Amino acid sequence: FQSDILSGVRVVITAGPTREAIDPVRYISNHSSGKMGFALATAAMEAGARVTLIRGPVNLPDPDRIQCLRVESARDMLEASLQQLGECDIFIAAAAVADYRPLQTADQKIKKSAASDTLELTLVKNPDIVATVAGHEQRPFTVGFAAETQDVENYARHKLQQKNLDIIVANDVSRSDIGFNSDENAVTVFWQQSQQAFGQMSKTTLARELVRLIAQRYRAATE
Ligand code: PMT
């Protein structure tokens, strides 16, 4: 693995899920373990980059030699991401951000009602972090992920355009042996001119492959 392909390059990576509070003890979240984003952070660091990892709540230790920022909600993650933009050449959004959050967070624990068997929660859309970064005047080279359960290429290419990304890494999250929470993944990477598929392998090995490809496309875009 080449240790200098990102030498001096500043890379910011989001990883893990977000938590959207319903009340002081409950939240909406998803099954992201953070493994994919953490593996990318380590691979980018090994490739010579200066890495900042914006991590949602996951059970992984902070990797060595990487600046880690801990966040909970999508709005926290957006704020931390925007704060990094002055020092970011490449932004990689591997986090599984909650698309919606409760419109209101109750100050006290919501009590079980004796009167009704149902409880309604109204959700409101969260800001799109990677699209906001890609639309910013200090726009870094921007890489998104696409978690799909069907029609992977079409949805991934649509997100590439719609979110104004340079690269999108698509994974099929309908399978339990790859994607969310597993140690392995298989992806197809799309960019404007082409695409490349990576078969099933450990997230550690895949992260190195992805860093190599991202470094190539970054150089091609900035030279
Ligand atoms: O964490 P692991 O257990 O290792 O699992 C890895 C993974 C499956 C979570 C990862 O490989 C992955 O696919 N991450 C993206 C998950 C996701 O939210 O995909 P999406 O298709 O809903 O979102 C598309 C892109 O927009 C992503 O880059 C996402 O970070 C970003 N996004 C989405 C919503 C939002 N409000 N803000 C965002 O920035």
Q: What is the tens place of the pLDDT at every residue in 23-43?
A: 999 999 999 999 999 999 999
Average pLDDT (58-86) is: 98
Task: Specify the ligand 1 atom closest to the Cα of 163.
Answer: 26
Which tokens go with 107?
Answer: 């100050």
* Ordered structural domains, the chain, with CATH: 10-103+122-222 (3.40.50.10300)
Task: Specify the ligand 1 atom closest to the Cα of 130.
Answer: 39
Contact 78, 97 (CB under 8 A): no
Q: Is 30 a catalytic residue?
A: yes
Q: What is the tens place of the pLDDT at every residue in 152-207?
A: 999 999 999 999 999 999 998 888 898 898 999 999 999 999 999 999 999 999 99
Contact 181, 35 (CB under 8 A): yes
Output the ligand 1 site: residues, CB below 6 A: 16, 32-36, 74, 93-97, 99, 126, 128-130, 144-147, 159, 171, 173, 179-181
pTM more than 0.90: yes
What ipTM, to 2 d.p.? 0.99
Q: Give CA–CA dist 37/59, Å, rounded.
A: 13
